[in-house]
Amino acid sequence: MLSRRVITRSGRHFRGRYPSRKLGRMVAFESLIERDVILLLEFSRGVQSYQEQPERIVYSDGQTMREYYPDFEAKLASGPRVHIEVKPSAKLDSPKITKKLQQIAAHYAQHREEHFRVITELDARKEPLRSNLKTLSPLRAKPAASPHGLSMYLPGKPWHALEASVGRDVLLKQIALGNLVCDLASPLQGDLMVFNAQEVAHDSLYL
């Protein structure tokens, strides 16, 4: 359950919902950067689950108790939970915002079990990862069975060999659905190694 209703702020911010295959529901976002972070969470096998605006955090600014709502919580397969603040990098030039984030980070370090992380568009939009995720994301909508004969080429075969065998569209679909895995931060071509999802660790993190 969300700690507060999202998509309520006024102004010209982009707002929308992303159909999460990992969570089995729509995930609300309030900016295009948040949408890009959702893709990182969605395709990171090391993220078991995630949630937007998970809870209200009360921290001290040295004089007054303040409220803060993290943009996302990610539960990692390795155990820890991470609270994520999404900010345009330009806003980090503001001394006021920087001070606030430092106070929040100090509160987490002293009083919370969760890790705290600030992610900007510079983190969320690295290439070729961003383009790969934008290509794969719409392919997750409709499940598809593994094509006949694909498993004989696994584990550990290069992209070009699999693409030559089953075609690029089929290969992209299986990567998108998580049946096959590879390093999505690399170009999807050539000698990139592709593995059966059942035979590799569930620990990839693109955050």
Other residues' Cβ atoms within 10 Å of the Cβ of residue 92: 14
pLDDT in tens, the chain (207 residues): 455 555 444 444 668 999 999 999 999 999 999 999 999 999 999 999 999 999 999 999 999 999 999 999 999 999 999 999 999 999 999 999 999 999 999 999 999 999 999 999 999 999 999 999 999 999 988 666 555 556 545 668 999 999 999 999 999 999 999 999 999 999 999 999 999 988 887 788 999
Q: Which residues contact 51 (CB under 8 A, 6 or more apart)?
A: 2, 23, 72, 73
Rg (the chain; Cα; Å): 19
| Bridging pattern class, strands 180-181 and 193-196 | antiparallel
Q: What class has domain 16-124?
A: alpha beta
Angle subtended at Cα 40 by Cα 38 and Cα 46, rounded to the nearest 5 degrees: 115
**Could you tell me which residues are beta bridge partners of residue 25?**
20
Q: Where are the domains of the chain?
A: 16-124, 129-199
pTM value? 0.89
